[in-house]
């Protein structure tokens, strides 16, 4: 796992907690990564008070609203652990109550973006302000990468310049979810767009190999809170969402990738069941069951399944001589 580069006003306390957990023999790598998200939040919000207050914790909890309930609880619980650690030496530190309930996700259905809607998002991203900055290209390339590869949004934020191997047409995901590193092959068109972005990105500091691939306007690594807010505006500009609806998530681009990949295999006549393990590996899943969560039955997908089943029945009848 890459060493966390903590920069917030609580960096010392966060690192001390991580070190304490590791010395005690606890496998704390996943939790350390989640504390890194909190550290970035503090930096992005310009928090300077070296003590957790109710206002800071409430603001962080609100910033997690776009995430799945289980993810919200995981991120919030490690921050609560941090507060409990700090309060031992600073009684004025605020310790929040734990999140008591997790809403059921059985009725949740992700939004599967159509190819035309993805194009609308990319067009809206190209019109972002400031026009003469790297920001429009950053969002256009980021959204295109998420849709064409299905990588997790957190994995895209963690990418460094050295992780893009243009000549080999692939990305290196270092320590993704479940601490699984993997190579992600890229299509020729995705490689071309990413290479074009990197050429412009290298005009900005920092340029070291281990510096962020995607930068915000302050030349720092992207943060989920700000990206989510910008993405919501792009949805509105692309006429994909209005205020009467629940906004689709940026994570739904990962769902769209999986569904459209499956749809392409059906249309090409491929053995889908044989290729599902490939998709699971590509998406960084530990098993096929995790991948199946992303395979939502769209109208186009159901049509392809129906056609294949119909063909199978006809072939079966013909092979038995119509009997």
- How many angstroms separate the Cα of 91 from the Cα of each of 51, 52, 88? 10, 11, 6
Residue 106 pLDDT > 50: no
Q: Report the pLDDT value the prediction gives residue 265, as an integer from 0 to 100.
A: 94
Strand order in the sheet with 182-185: 164-165, 170-173, 182-185
- Mean per-residue pLDDT over the chain, rounded: 88
Q: What are phi and psi of 266, to 5 degrees?
A: -60, -45
**Annotated domain spans of the chain:** 11-87, 115-237, 252-319
pLDDT digits (tens, 9 = 90+) for 111-149: 999 999 999 999 999 999 999 999 999 999 999 999 999
Kindly report, residue by residue over 224-239, the tens digit of the pLDDT: 889 999 999 999 998 8
Helix (H, G, I), strand (E, B) or coil at 177: helix
Tens of pLDDT, residue by residue over 22-48, are 887 666 788 898 999 999 999 999 999
The tens digit of pLDDT for each residue in 78-102 reads 999 999 999 989 988 999 988 755 4
| pLDDT at residue 321, as a whole number | 59
E-assigned strands of the chain? 164-165, 170-173, 182-185
Band (pLDDT 50/70/90 cuts) for residue 176 is low
pTM (2 decimals)? 0.70
- Look up the CATH number of domain 115-237: 1.10.443.10
Identify whether the C-beta of residue 34 lies closer than 8 Å to the C-beta of residue 56.
no
Provide the β-strand partners of residue 215.
Answer: 221
Please tell me the distance from the alpha carbon of residue 82 to that of residue 268, in angstroms, as a whole number.
51
Cα–Cα dist 270/120, whole Å:
30
Q: What is the pLDDT of residue 60?
A: 92
pLDDT exceeds cutoff 90 at 306: no
The two tokens of residue 181 are 């590193």
Q: Which residues contact 273 (CB under 8 A, 6 or more apart)?
A: none
Q: Does residue 267 contact residue 231 with C-beta atoms inside 8 Å?
A: no
Q: Select from 47, 44, 73 the least CA-distant residue to 217.
A: 44
Position 300 scores a pLDDT of 85
- Cα–Cα distance, 223 to 76 (Å, whole number): 16
Residues with catalytic annotation? 152, 177, 251, 254, 285, 294
The number of beta carbons lying within 10 Å of the beta carbon of residue 32 is 21
Q: Does pLDDT of 322 surpass 70? A: no
* Span of 62-71, 232-241, 262-271 with lowest mean pLDDT: 62-71
């Amino acid at each position: 796992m890459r060493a966390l580069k903590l920069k917030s006003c609580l960096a010392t306390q966060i690192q001390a907690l991580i070190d304490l957990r590791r010395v005690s023999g606890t496998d704390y790598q996943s939790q350390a990564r989640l504390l890194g998200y909190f550290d970035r939040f503090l930096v992005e919000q310009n928090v300077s008070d070296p003590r957790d207050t109710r206002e800071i914790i409430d603001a962080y909890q609100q910033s997690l609203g776009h995430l799945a309930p289980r993810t919200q609880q995981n991120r919030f619980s490690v921050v609560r652990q941090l507060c409990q650690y700090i309060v031992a030496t600073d009684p004025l530190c605020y310790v929040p109550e734990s999140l008591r309930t997790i809403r059921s996700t059985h009725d949740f259905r992700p939004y599967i973006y159509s190819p035309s809607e993805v194009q609308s998002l990319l067009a809206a991203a190209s019109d972002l302000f400031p026009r003469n900055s790297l920001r429009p290209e950053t969002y256009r390339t980021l959204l295109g990468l998420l849709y064409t590869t299905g990588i997790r949004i957190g994995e895209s934020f963690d990418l460094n310049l050295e992780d893009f191997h243009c000549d080999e047409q692939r990305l290196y995901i270092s320590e993704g979810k479940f601490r699984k590193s993997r190579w992600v092959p890229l299509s020729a068109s995705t490689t071309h767009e990413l290479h074009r972005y990197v050429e412009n990105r290298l005009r900005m500091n920092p340029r070291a190999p281990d510096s962020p691939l995607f930068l915000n306007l302050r030349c720092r690594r992207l943060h989920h809170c700000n990206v989510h807010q910008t993405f919501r505006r792009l949805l509105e500009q692309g006429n994909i969402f209005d205020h009467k609806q629940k906004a689709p998530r940026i994570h739904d681009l990962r769902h769209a990738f999986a569904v459209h990949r499956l749809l392409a295999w059906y249309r090409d006549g491929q053995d889908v069941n044989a290729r599902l393990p490939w998709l699971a590996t590509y998406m960084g899943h530990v098993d096929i069951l995790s991948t199946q969560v992303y395979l939502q039955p769209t109208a186009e997908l159901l049509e392809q399944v129906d056609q294949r089943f119909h063909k199978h029945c006809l072939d079966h009848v013909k092979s038995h001589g119509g009997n």
